[in-house]
């Protein structure tokens, strides 16, 4: 059977950086040292006024094409020819236009063949995991051999300047992930079992109002938050959702894959914030040495948190050939998903 294999991850961060010192200077009453001790974030990258998520996505893809597939030591393992891309899957909640999709515009900017299938899908923190599953489906059914999965989030465009709880959390980013058809000997991350879940009854807990086709808020908590698109998040409700859902998700993933805490070498969960992740680690009884934290210099980058953490962990040797990984995303929707990956 043909395997779907993660062959490379390219990360692009905007040049502008918003540090905790910057926020302290603007809002001394926020006491950013106390916030950072809890959320584990020291800075976040912010998209420039004249940039969009599509610009970040293009930069990530061009980095992927320029660098090719490389080993952690920098050794070249293969070139990436844009002409060989069969599918472009674009996950974003901040499309440049209501229509056409960002994927169609990006196909043209990158010079991908007109035979390339290209489409957007709208998910947040679970988006990258869902994207892997979509790519695996195309590859396993013979509809594609090389899939480019793009994730882009620019939450800074929707966050009120004086909203301490979420402005201190979120950063902007884009990632390009190359997924190829391969066999058991192909180098990279072999995508295995996936599990998913959705609970739309919690949709109002993370929402952007003032955008889309409805002028009505989902409930009174997100009403009257200002002109234009404005983000609202009920942090305590999201925390409760996470602690309730993720342990069940992990149990389903163990049962479906036959894996366990002992057999999995690394766990990479959506990098929401340090406080939440440490609570999850303890509840799931995961050893610290198997639990990757990678958000101090980027913040919560939504659909990009897992590929950023995985890409960095692979490059610095924390993820190695022969390891089995559990990758788990959860958040806005409410939506969640998990996948087992064998790294070879």
Q: Where are the beta strands (DSSP E) in the chain?
A: 3-12, 17-19, 43-45, 69-70, 76-78, 87-92, 117-121, 146-153, 173-182, 189-198, 206-209, 230-233, 266-269, 324-331, 335-343
Annotated catalytic residue within 91, 270, 273, 304: 270
Distance CA 276, CA 283 (A): 11
Active site residue 73: no
Annotated catalytic residue within 125, 175, 194, 205: 125
Active site residue 270: yes
Distances (CA, A) of 196 to 31, 44, 176, 262, 335: 38, 29, 22, 22, 8
Distance CA 142, CA 145 (A): 7
Q: If 0-12 CB within 10 Å is exposed, 13-18 middle and 19+ buried, where does residue 216 land?
A: exposed
Active site residue 91: no
Annotated catalytic residue within 102, 205, 273, 300: 300
Contacts of 74 (CB under 8 A, 6+ apart): none
Task: Determine phi and psi for 44, rounding to 5 degrees.
Answer: -145, 150
Residues noted as catalytic: 125, 270, 300
């Amino acid at each position: 059977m043909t395997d779907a294999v993660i062959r490379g991850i390219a990360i692009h961060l905007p040049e502008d950086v918003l540090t905790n010192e910057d926020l302290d200077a603007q809002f001394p009453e926020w006491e950013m040292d106390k916030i950072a001790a809890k959320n584990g974030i020291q800075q976040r990258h912010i998209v420039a006024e004249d940039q969009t998520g599509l610009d970040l996505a293009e930069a990530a893809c061009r980095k992927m094409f320029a660098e090719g597939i490389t080993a952690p030591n920098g050794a070249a393992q293969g070139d990436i020819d844009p002409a060989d891309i069969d599918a472009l899957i674009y996950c974003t909640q901040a499309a440049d236009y209501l229509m056409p999709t960002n994927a169609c515009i990006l196909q043209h900017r990158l010079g991908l063949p007109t035979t390339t299938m290209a489409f957007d899908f709208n998910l947040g923190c679970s988006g990258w995991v869902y994207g892997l599953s979509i790519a695996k489906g195309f590859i396993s059914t013979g509809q594609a051999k090389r899939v480019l999965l793009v994730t882009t989030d620019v939450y800074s465009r929707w966050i009120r300047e004086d909203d301490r709880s979420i402005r201190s959390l979120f950063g902007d980013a884009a990632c390009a992930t190359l997924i190829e058809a391969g066999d058991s000997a192909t180098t990279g991350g072999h995508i295995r079992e996936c599990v998913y879940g959705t609970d739309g009854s919690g949709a109002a807990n993370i929402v952007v109002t003032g955008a889309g086709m409805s002028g009505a808020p989902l409930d009174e908590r997100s009403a009257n938050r200002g002109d234009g698109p404005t983000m609202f998040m009920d942090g305590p409700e999201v925390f409760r959702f996470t602690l309730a859902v993720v342990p069940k998700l992990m149990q389903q993933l163990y049962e479906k894959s036959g894996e366990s805490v002992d057999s999995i070498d690394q766990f990479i969960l959506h990098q929401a914030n340090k406080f939440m992740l440490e609570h999850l680690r303890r509840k799931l009884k995961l050893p610290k040495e198997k639990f990757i934290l990678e958000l101090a210099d980027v913040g919560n980058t939504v659909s990009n948190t897992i590929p950023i953490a995985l890409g960095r962990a692979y490059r610095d040797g924390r993820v190695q050939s022969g390891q089995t990984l559990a990758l788990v995303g959860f958040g806005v929707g409410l939506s969640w998903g998990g996948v087992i990956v064998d790294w070879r």
